[in-house]
Structure 1
């Protein structure tokens, strides 16, 4: 028991030191700037890219960063994360063992639980992932607009009757929120969006995404022309 207490105390000390190190440069969080990437934030704040990803579960890549968004820099410690992952794997294995004795397949389990099957189907429908629906597609008219002009954003295959954000930015970097809209009951969208006058970089890309950041669909990038 004494050794275990020392081990936990050591983990807490290491965690405090790591968070203190981040606080010396950017504090416990930082605000996303135009053109930011996960790598740029990590360099600016003297933290690892892995810490940023662990501390912000909704961020999977630099394209998920929104200008003005607060990004947490106080993620969980590597060791605790590893312990949780290991525990999860053991639990999953235990569940598989139980499942193999009780059910011959996931399909059989769902067939005997129609309400659960219905709930899963309804969730997929809300996300635009079921009933043979095509993947989300976003197009622009004109396809290569110029800075400061208005472009028509059209999309299909989106979650139905849902609020969305329309953003723009350099491909693979932080996006700026340009407008808000709502999809139709059929999961489509058409919106007129005014582009910024100062579209920096050589390429620009518009995206449509859920307000909670749980999904996104992007239009083909286009060259920035004066």
Structure 2
């Protein structure tokens, strides 16, 4: 119990230091611009990339940035404390239950721990899997369209019957929403999307992602045809 308390204290102290460090030229938050990366935002606001990631837990990298969204530069301290407390209590309860409720199969254990099962499904989705059935795949027709052209976006292996955002941008940088769609009950998608006429990067990448940013699947990046 003492060890867990010390660990939680360390989390809270670390987060507090990160929050204090966010006294910066951008203020409490910043709006993502097209083509932004974590590095460019960190430089502009005089903060670290680590602080951006800690303060915005839905962001795993620059490719998760969405033009127009607002990023926190301070971090939700109350939420972090609550998460740390809940995590500690959950681990403690799980440890107490394992000794008395161990089952003879993995399925039995997961059946008694629905939250753990849900977390595993969420992890599979973030890795680009559709309920563990097949890897997500996104393709374009034509494969290397010109700026301003209409391209057919086809995808398989996506979460079934869910609203999605189709976005585009330079690989590893903030994306711009191009269209909204919904996957079929089989986890597929086909949509005709018009590309921007003012694409600034030489390489462009189209992605399909959930509205809440919890998962994404990307088509191969292509060189923009400017003829």
Specify the TM-score bucket, using the shorter chain as the normaliser.
0.7 to 0.9
CA shift in 2, pair 1:14/1:56, >3 Å: closer
Contact between 2:205 and 2:221, CA under 8 Å: does it hold in 1?
A: yes
Which is further off, 132-141 or 58-67? 132-141
Match in the other structure for 1:202: 202
Alpha-carbon distance in structure 2 between the residues aligned to 1:145 and 1:34? 20
Q: Deviations over 1:158-189 (max 9, x none)?
A: 11111110000000000000111111111111
Query: Secondary structure in 2 aligned to 1:100?
Result: helix
Q: Distance in 2 between matches of 1:16 and 1:183?
A: 39
Q: What is the aligned counterpart of 2:21 among 3, 18, 21?
A: 18
Alignment of 1:35-114 (within 5 A): 35-75=35-75, 88=87, 92=91, 95-96=94-95, 98-104=97-103, 106-110=106-110, 113=112
Q: How far apart are 1:93 and its partner, in Å?
A: 6.0
Aligned residues: 204
Shift of 1:214: 0.9
Contact map agreement 2:139 2:153 (CA 8 A) in 1: yes
Query: Is there any run of 5+ residues in structure 2 with no aligned partner, and where?
Result: 1-8
Instruction: After TM superposition, give the deviation of residue 95 of structure 1 in Å.
Output: 2.5
Shift of 1:110: 3.9
CA contact (8 A) 1:164 1:181 kept: yes
> Secondary structure of 1:129's match?
coil
Indicate the larger mover: 203-212 or 92-101.
92-101
User: What displacement does 1:98 show?
Assistant: 3.6
Query: Aligned ranges for residues 175-186 of structure 1 at < 5 Å?
Result: 175-186=175-186
Q: Structure 1: where are the runs of 5+ without partners?
A: 1-6
**Equivalent residue, structure 1, for 2:30:** 30
Shift in Å, 1:82: 9.8
Structure 2: distance between partners of 1:100 and 1:218:
43
Secondary structure at the counterpart of residue 147 of structure 1: coil
Give the superposed CA RMSD.
3.3
- Following superposition, the deviation at residue 225 of structure 1 comes to 2.2
1:97: how far off?
Answer: 5.3
User: TM-score by structure 2 length?
Assistant: 0.77
Deviation at 1:55, TM superposition (A): 1.3
- In 2, distance between residues paired with 1:183 and 1:17? 42
In structure 2, C-alpha distance between the alignment counterparts of 1:183 and 1:39, rounded to whole Å? 33
Secondary structure in structure 1 of the residue aligned to 2:200 = coil
Query: Greater Rg, structure 1 or structure 2?
Result: 1
Q: Is this contact kept in 2: 1:54–1:76, CA < 8 A?
A: no
Please give the TM-score of this superposition, normalised by the length of structure 1. Answer: 0.77
